[in-house]
Amino acid sequence: MRGRADLNTVAVVTDSIACLTPEQRQTHNIGVVPLMVNFGGKSYRDGVDVSATQAYEFFLQKPDDFTTSTPGPLDFVNAFRDAIKRGAESILCITVSSRLSSTHTVGLMAKQYAVAEMPKVRVEVMDSWTASAAEGFIALAAARAAESGARLDEVVKAAAGVKDRVALYVLLDTVRHVYRSGRVPRIASQAGSVLNIRPLFNISGKVHLMGVARSRERGLDSILDRIKEKVGNKPVHAAVMHAYAPDAAIALKERVAKEFRCTELWLTEFSPLMGYACGTGTLAVAFYSGD
């Protein structure tokens, strides 16, 4: 039986860093291009050949042997082809922030190839300027607009509206691995680990440090206080993420449900493509206010 989303003339494609759940991908017909997890001399497609949990288990075995890489243009082109086969006439591709990954550049290259191959198809590539479930919220807004029958320009507008409002706050459980981001010297991350510092940061284009906490509890208190300052009493869309810390994430989700008027609230795993630098135990909340 064909669902409503199967009839969309606009297809939405994103990358696996968006942290969408399998149910969300299927319900809204969102194409997802996996990034790569490399471990033990083998490469795995994120969310296809390896789950986030399995990837974190690789990471815990031998962190220095765990790396990540971007997909190639052909991976995006194949996702575009699949969308056209399902009846789409145009495509909006939403990528992780160009300040964090070269994935956006790869998406633009794929657009050139796709347009040359399928000249009647319109393809737009949007830099989400964020990551994780914040990127996922932008993709969901686009897909929901497409489901309502919106044309490409209207779908882009819906995605841009959420892009302008969505925020992502992240609490690390350790700074031991942040040197892998290339932004913090290894000696500094080791020193921070000894001092038991837990950084809080947000992502707006790139990573911005918001502060540090001495415990997970204080760090989460700070995140929720900052969300309250931003949304007030408005209804909120929220997603809770974790890196190999499901019990803590469930507890955080329950707290978010209790303290905010949630129009939408879901739980997902923090992408191992980011977790390789953040480390296990990371918790995060993506959110935006409004209808």
How far is residue 82's CA from residue 127's CA, in Å, rounded to a whole number? 21
The number of beta carbons lying within 10 Å of the beta carbon of residue 139 is 30
8 A C-beta contact, residue 110 and residue 77: yes
Give the predicted TM-score (pTM) of the model: 0.92
Pick from 97, 148, 154, 144: nearest CA to 122 = 154
pLDDT given at position 103: 97
pLDDT given at position 35: 97
* Both structure tokens of 211: 């502060």
pLDDT given at position 176: 59
pLDDT given at position 291: 65
pLDDT given at position 257: 98
How far is residue 216's CA from residue 172's CA, in Å, rounded to a whole number? 8
8 A C-beta contact, residue 115 and residue 121: yes
DSSP string of 238-287, one letter each residue: EEEEESS-HHHHHHHHHHHHHHS-EEEEEEEEPPHHHHHHH-TT-EEEEE
pLDDT given at position 166: 98
Q: Rounded to 5 degrees, what are φ and ψ at 11? A: -100, 145
CA 29 from chain center: how many Å?
17
Residue 4 per-residue DSSP state:
G
Helices (H), 165-215: 186-194
8 A C-beta contact, residue 139 and residue 176: no
Going residue by residue through the chain, which has 291 residues, state the pLDDT in tens, using 9 for 90 and above: 334 434 579 999 999 999 999 999 999 999 999 999 999 999 999 999 999 999 999 998 998 899 999 999 999 999 999 999 999 999 999 999 999 999 999 999 999 999 999 999 999 999 999 999 999 999 999 999 999 999 999 999 999 999 999 999 999 987 754 534 444 333 333 434 434 678 898 999 888 888 889 899 999 999 999 999 999 999 999 999 999 999 999 999 999 999 999 999 999 999 998 877 788 899 999 999 986
Which domains are present in the chain? 4-35+70-163 (3.40.50.10440), 167-289 (3.30.1180.10)
Q: Rounded to 5 degrees, what are φ and ψ at 242? A: -145, 155
pLDDT given at position 277: 77
8 A C-beta contact, residue 249 and residue 284: no
pLDDT given at position 259: 97
